[in-house]
Structure 1
Amino acid sequence: MPDLSAGDDAVAVSALRSAVMRLSRRLRHQRVDESLTPTEMSVLGTLARCGSATPGELARKEHVQPPSMTRIVALLETKGLVRMEPHPEDRRQKVVTRTERAESMLEESRRRRNAWLAELAEGLTEEEWATVRAAAPILDKLAQM
């Protein structure tokens, strides 16, 4: 494993962090529903990617404390974006499932963000765009670690 804490590698790590943070912040501004917090949107995205989950599983995936996730899920349920269903194996637990309304909202959000990114990408050269395409799976790998 390379030592990324010194010299040119440290500069590259810092530049990557800064660029990812700025791009992420700009992407968050492309939201469809301004009434949802970024955390609420993240929970809905996790449900879309991973399927239904218990509040405890969601808390682990989102790196928040279980009581915080309980509050987030309650807010999403109040907004009609998730529903609580009995756990198929453990009736003491509930499973959080996204609703059709959440699916529609997420799809519109993806469409809007993809269009925004595509518009930005039009300003890149062919070589720059090829580099971004090649980097996408690697960035995804970093995001999953």
Structure 2
Amino acid sequence: MSRMTAADSPASSPDLATAASDLRMATFRLARRLRAQRAVDAMSDAQFAVLAALTVHGGHTPGELADRERVSAPSMNRTVNCLEESGYITRTPDAVDRRKVNIALTDEGRAVVEETTRRRDSWLEGALASLTDAERAVLAQAAEVMREVAAR
């Protein structure tokens, strides 16, 4: 039985490399357009990511948030401090381990996430409205494939 070498692999073909580059660039451009649709213009992407993580996954310690967002603890501490000063999150001592602090969303923080999500969905809905049914079907299939790729 012969083994396929890296040079024989479809993953190394120039067409696949071009497709990967094109997909990367299109994804980044779309993500940039979506990120521009936000409820608070002064909020950084990292700050919004923390609010979104708290919305989806519930309260966390700063260390858990740092791990989830793949940033250093000092960087997360700066982000958490800024969000707390803005009234978007609260810190409460852990009931079991008083050395730990739990981070949770305030109503204002939840409202920022909801409004940003609404704006982003509305912008994308408007963009999709200008496409044909066939183009929207292609994007629906692409979304499924992209979810699978991202899960790997």
TM, length-normalised to structure 1: 0.91
Q: In terms of mean alpha carbon deviation, does 82-91 or 72-81 score higher?
A: 82-91
Distance 1:81 1:141, change over 3 A: farther
Partner of 1:57: 64
- Tell me the percent identity: 38
Mark the structure with the bigger radius of gyration: 2
User: How much does 1:3 deviate?
Assistant: 4.8
User: How far apart in 2 are the matches of 1:71 and 1:42?
Assistant: 14
Cα separation, partners in 2 of 1:136 and 1:92, compared to 1, 3 Å: same
Q: TM-score, normalised by structure 2?
A: 0.87
1:106 aligns with 2:124: no
Aligned pairs for 1:1-145 within 5 A: 3-145=10-152
Residues paired across the two proteins, number: 144
Match of 1:4, SS state, is helix
Moved over 4 A (4+): none
Query: Alpha-carbon deviations, 1:42-66, whole Å to 9, x = none?
Result: 1111111111111111111111100
Q: Label 1:28 to 1:95 Cα distance change in 2 as closer, same or farther (>3 A).
A: same
The residue type equivalent to 2:37 in the other structure is Q
| Alpha-carbon shift at residue 143 of structure 1 (Å) | 3.8
**Counterparts of 2:10 and 2:68 in 1: how far apart (Å)?**
28
Shift of 1:88: 4.0
